[in-house]
Amino acid sequence: MKNPPLVKVEKDRKRSALSEPPEGGKRVFALKTQPSTPSAVTNKNVHASRKACGGIGVKSDLDARHDDGQVETNISPYALYRLMTWLSPSYPIGAFSYSSGIEWAVESGDVTDADSLMRWLAVMFAEGGGFCDCVFLRHTHEAIAESRNAKLYEVAELSAAFIPSKERYLETTAQGRAFVEATRAVWPCEAMERLVTAFEGPLTYPVAVGVAAAGHGIAVGLALHAYSHAMVANWISAGVRLVPLGQTDGQRILAALEPVVARTILRALKTSLDQVGSSALRSDLSSMRHETQYTRLFRS
């Protein structure tokens, strides 16, 4: 029997991925939502949100995540091991204690369920602090790779100046300082010493990670993806505890935000320091309001 044409196989794959599963079968991308959790992100919403950002498994989505000309995809096991170590929740920087203002968003009623949390985080990452962090990490990596201490100083200073509130300042500088201390002790490199020498001011988290990645020869695209995943996953963890939501809902949100993160990284790779900026005003206000919130679980 002859094999069916390749085009037909591709069409069948797309149809099977996006259509309803047969009776007794399982959907590939998400589990069935339980009727007892009406606020959960449904399979339909996950598909819709990812389609709006490039689709699920279609060419535009794959290009956004695997464009060899813009985001490096080859990685050695040593680089992967170090990225997973540095950006693991177990790395001693205290990321679990910060919510980036999400706690006030829940308190005020802006975030009430999984759908609203997903929308909040999409804006927060693509148009707010997430995008700015990616730009600063990219330029930090470039400054180290090109041995430009003056640029390293400029990026470190600008990234600290861009922080919109007192608690966000604490969040990124405390994590940045803890990251530098732990990495210098366990994963020392000449680039980290250059950072300490070139800049005596407060070190933000993306600058610290950018220096470590460049100092250990890890490509900037890979570092951006790992950093962004860690950031979004930490936000989701805070939201899951605060709303509260189920763990499966948290994973649905993480899956739905994948193309948002990928496209934001591509923008960051093309953005100069003169063009960096954010427009997530409500998110910035939430971090300011959190400073006087009466009952708090998180430091930001």
pTM: 0.78
Mean pLDDT to the nearest integer, 175-201: 94
pLDDT at 75: 76
**Confidence label for 70 from pLDDT (cuts 50, 70 and 90):** low
Using a pLDDT cut of 90, give the percent of the chain over it: 71
Mean pLDDT to the nearest integer, 65-69: 38
Spell out the domain ranges in the chain. 48-292
Cα Rg, the chain, nearest whole Å: 20
Q: CATH number of the domain at 48-292, out of 3.60.20.10, 1.10.4190.10, 3.40.50.300, 3.30.1330.60?
A: 1.10.4190.10
8-66 pLDDT, tens digit per residue, is 333 343 333 333 444 444 333 332 333 333 344 445 554 444 443 333 332 333 233 33
Alpha carbon separation from 88 to 94, 132, 173, 228 (Å, rounded): 11, 21, 18, 12
What is the C-alpha separation between 288 and 284, in angstroms, rounded?
Answer: 7
Mean pLDDT to the nearest integer, 122-138: 97
